[in-house]
């Protein structure tokens, strides 16, 4: 069934400043943590550091519920002594890596920060954006590392999408801005230890805002889907890395001072090749050449050539899909982008192709039939699907202990961190009031 248009909240204006894993069962069985201590009504004072420091940790493809798969003592320690989005963090659409990571650090929906997919074509220049594109003209908005540095503080990043882009006040400083190099294996332990070493620097040199992006458990999810033991192994390793941070902070006496925010960029759902919608099957109604298609799989994006009426193309595609003669056709609905549900915020950019197809959970779109019948996992679907949700855990002086808050969209994270650090936020799509609803007030 397609999600109804009003499932998620409508668009916010620019402002300043199934798989639930039977999670209640798993949380009661596996969250072996001590009861949170009595909390104070205001933010706790810093004990050793002389300023607030935020460490933003992203674990790619960490679907909400993964943290109930097995005993994860370090993650559950943060939950028990911090604040959690009780039913997960809501990603932006499309629910893929680069748009979501950049939304978290700019507070903007993809239509406004410009990274509308992991790969797309600029309609003006014809240039293709890929995950290796670091030219500043692609990356709009003001990411947090730029906001922080512009206001006299220091920042550090480790393989966070967009952080290698030299833009505004941010020059990706050596030693504080780790690049991604596909030819060099990433050693996550070394990356954690590098961040911990910042806390051995003089106080004035400790970055106020730090990001790190872990690849797992996304590749495992694509390989085997969300329910395999391989996911459990990957999540256990993430918990180990969180523990490495905690141990390092405790040895330095700063664990209660450092704000740790753990998030994911999107979820994951199981797929099989038998759940395909094949564009060539639409030939009796309309032929869709591969040259028209800019994105397949979990999001269909089509740009017809000039001279072809996009509205007519949409009508003929939907006629075929509704005919009952296209296999799995009922699991795809195609729109002119301006007619997409407004809650998706996916129209106000010329980088977004004129025709967008929303694919039902677990299904994929391909040009031709394939012989393979392998199963795995995917994401990129409508962000109203629960399977696309990830996690939010906040631990630190301004987060209540043991508190649960309702789910929220990840564009709110920018204002949340700006508030903790006391910096003025750039214009964004988040809510000015959100931080005050989640954070403890300052004394």
pLDDT at 9: 41
Contact 143, 105 (CB under 8 A): yes
pLDDT at 24: 38
Alpha helices in 123-272 (DSSP H): 144-150, 188-198, 218-224, 229-252
* Cis preceding linkage at 217, omega within 30: yes
| Count of beta carbons in the 10 Å neighbourhood of residue 362 | 18
DSSP 255: T
DSSP 41: S
How many residues are listed for the chain in this entry? 443
List domains and CATH numbers for the chain: 23-270+384-438 (3.40.720.10), 274-373 (3.30.1360.180)
Tell me the chain's radius of gyration from C-alpha atoms.
22
Burial label for 355, CB within 10 Å (0-12, 13-18, 19+), is: buried
- Give the Cα separation of 125 and 136 in Å (integer): 15
Identify each DSSP E strand in 165-310 by its residue range. Answer: 177-178, 209-214, 258-263, 269-272, 276-278, 293-295, 299-302
pLDDT at 34: 42
pLDDT at 282: 98
pLDDT at 6: 38
Question: Is-catalytic flag, 97?
Answer: yes
pLDDT digit string (tens) for the chain, length 443 residues: 444 433 334 444 444 443 344 333 334 333 434 444 556 689 999 999 999 999 999 999 999 999 999 999 999 999 999 999 999 999 999 999 999 999 999 999 999 999 999 999 999 999 999 999 999 999 999 999 999 999 999 999 999 999 999 999 999 999 999 998 777 789 999 999 999 999 999 999 999 999 999 999 999 999 999 999 999 999 999 999 999 999 999 999 999 999 999 999 999 999 988 899 999 999 999 999 999 999 999 999 999 999 999 999 999 999 999 999 999 999 999 999 999 999 999 999 999 999 999 999 999 999 998 776 678 999 999 999 999 999 999 999 999 999 999 999 999 999 999 999 999 999 999 999 999 999 999 98
Contact 276, 375 (CB under 8 A): no
**Catalytic residue (choose from 59, 83, 95, 97):** 97
State the pTM of this model: 0.91
């Amino acid at each position: 069934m397609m999600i109804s248009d009003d499932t998620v909240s409508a668009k916010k204006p620019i402002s300043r400043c199934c798989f639930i894993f039977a999670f209640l069962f798993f949380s009661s069985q596996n969250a072996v943590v001590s009861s949170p201590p009595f909390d104070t009504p205001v933010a706790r004072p810093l004990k050793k550091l002389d300023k607030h420091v935020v460490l933003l940790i992203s674990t790619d493809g960490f679907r909400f519920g993964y943290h109930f798969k097995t005993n994860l003592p370090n993650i559950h320690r943060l939950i028990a002594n911090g604040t959690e989005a009780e039913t997960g963090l809501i990603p932006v659409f499309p629910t893929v890596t680069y748009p979501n990571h950049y939304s978290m650090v700019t507070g903007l929906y993809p239509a406004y920060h410009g990274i509308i997919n992991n790969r797309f074509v600029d309609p003006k220049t014809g240039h293709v954006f890929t995950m290796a594109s670091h030219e500043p003209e692609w990356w709009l908005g003001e990411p947090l590392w730029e906001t922080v540095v512009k206001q006299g503080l220091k920042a550090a990043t480790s393989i966070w999408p967009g952080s290698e882009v030299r833009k505004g006040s941010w020059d990706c400083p050596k030693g504080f801005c780790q690049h991604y190099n596909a030819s060099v294996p990433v050693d996550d332990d070394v990356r954690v230890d590098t961040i911990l070493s910042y806390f051995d620097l003089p106080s004035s040199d400790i970055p106020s805002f730090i990001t790190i992006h872990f690849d797992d458990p996304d590749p495992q999810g694509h390989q085997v889907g969300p329910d395999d033991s391989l996911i459990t192994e990957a999540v256990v390793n993430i918990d180990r890395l969180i523990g490495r941070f905690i141990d390092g902070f405790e040895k330095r006496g700063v664990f209660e001072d450092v704000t740790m925010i753990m998030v994911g960029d999107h979820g994951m759902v199981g797929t099989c090749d038998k759940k395909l919608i094949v564009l060539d099957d639409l030939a009796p109604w309309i032929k869709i050449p591969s040259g028209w298609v800019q994105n397949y799989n979990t999001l269909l994006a089509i740009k017809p050539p000039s001279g072809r009426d996009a509205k007519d193309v949409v009508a003929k595609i939907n006629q075929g899909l509704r005919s009952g003669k296209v296999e799995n056709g009922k699991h795809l609905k195609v729109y002119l982008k301006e007619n997409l549900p407004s809650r998706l915020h996916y129209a106000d950019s010329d980088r977004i192709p004129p025709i967008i197809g929303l694919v039902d959970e677990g299904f994929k779109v391909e040009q031709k039939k394939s012989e393979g019948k392998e199963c795995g996992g995917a994401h990129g679907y409508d962000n109203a699907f629960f399977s696309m949700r990830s996690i939010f855990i906040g631990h630190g002086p301004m987060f209540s202990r043991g508190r649960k808050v309702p789910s929220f969209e990840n564009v709110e994270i920018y204002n949340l961190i700006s508030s903790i650090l006391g910096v003025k936020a750039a214009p964004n799509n988040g809510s000015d009031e959100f931080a005050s609803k989640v954070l403890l007030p300052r004394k």
